Every structure is written in structure tokens, then in C-alpha cells.
Structure 1
Amino acid sequence: MTDSSNRPRASLWDTVKAVGWSFFGVRKNSAYQEDLRKLNPLHIIAVAFVAVVVFVVVLVLVVRHVVASAGA
């Protein structure tokens, strides 16, 4: 069992970048391995949840705008 206090910690921005790259499915293996060492899984889940909610809200707003402008 390893001591987690010696692990380097990632910033919130590092977590946001990792989640963003995962949305596109593009990531270098070396960067992925570094993320595994640094990122907290709970932070990844929280940021991913917020990102999905924002993505869905943006899609709904775009669809509503397109439908409203097509009916006018």
C-alpha cells in the first residue's frame, strides 16, 4: 500500500483539462498515466458531472433557439 501523502496533487484546472480531453477521446498515453498518478477520482466525477450538465443545458438552449427561429 502506498502513502498517498507523497503523491503530487493536481489543481482544479488539471482536473478540468483531463475531463475536457476525455470528452473528445483524445489523450496521450503519457498524459493519461500522469493523470492517474495526480488526479483524485472524486474530483474527476464532480467535474465530469458539472461538465455534462453544462453540455446538456447548452444543447437544449441551442435547440430551443433553432426551433424558435425556424418557426418565425
Structure 2
Amino acid sequence: MDNSKSRGFGETMLAVAWSFIGLRRRSDFERDVGALRPGYVIVGALIAASCFVGLLLAAVRMATS
């Protein structure tokens, strides 16, 4: 993979965030397929999933208190 085309962690997090909520354009996805680093995508997905679960737990705690 050519490192000049690879995305940084911030750009990867942005791509993961858009993908997580389902608002990613196909053209952006196809452009990012070869440029995103798999390790960054995994870490970004774990961070996003943790935030989502935390928000759900907070909402449930507020609703039941």
C-alpha cells in the first residue's frame, strides 16, 4: 500500500463515524477502501461502539431513575 494515500487516524474516525450511522456515500467508501488502515478502522469501530453502548446505558439509567 502506498503510504501517501493512506488516511490518518482522524480521517479514519470520520469515515467510521459516517459509516456507523449509515450516511456514507458509495463513492467515498470506494475511495477509502484502499486508503484506510485496518488497525485504525478496528480501533475506531471499537471506540464508536463503546460510545454507543455508553449512551444507551446512560439513557436507560435516566429513564429508570
- Normalising by structure 2, report the TM-score: 0.84
Q: Shift of the alpha carbon at 1:25?
A: 1.6
Greater Rg, structure 1 or structure 2?
Answer: 1
Partner of 2:48: 51
Q: Shift of the alpha carbon at 1:5?
A: 3.5
Contact 1:7 1:37 survives alignment (8 Å): no
Cα distance in 2 for residues equivalent to 1:61 and 1:28: 31
Which ranges of structure 2 fall in alignment gaps of 5 or more residues? none
Question: Which ranges of 4 or more aligned residues in structure 1 deviate by more than 3 Å?
Answer: none
Query: Which structure has more helix as a fraction of its residues?
Result: 1
Question: Aligned Cα RMSD in Å?
Answer: 1.5
- Percent identity, aligned pairs only? 32
AA at the equivalent of 2:55: V
CA displacement 1:6-59 (0-9 Å, x = unmatched): 551201121111111111222212111111121011110111011101110111
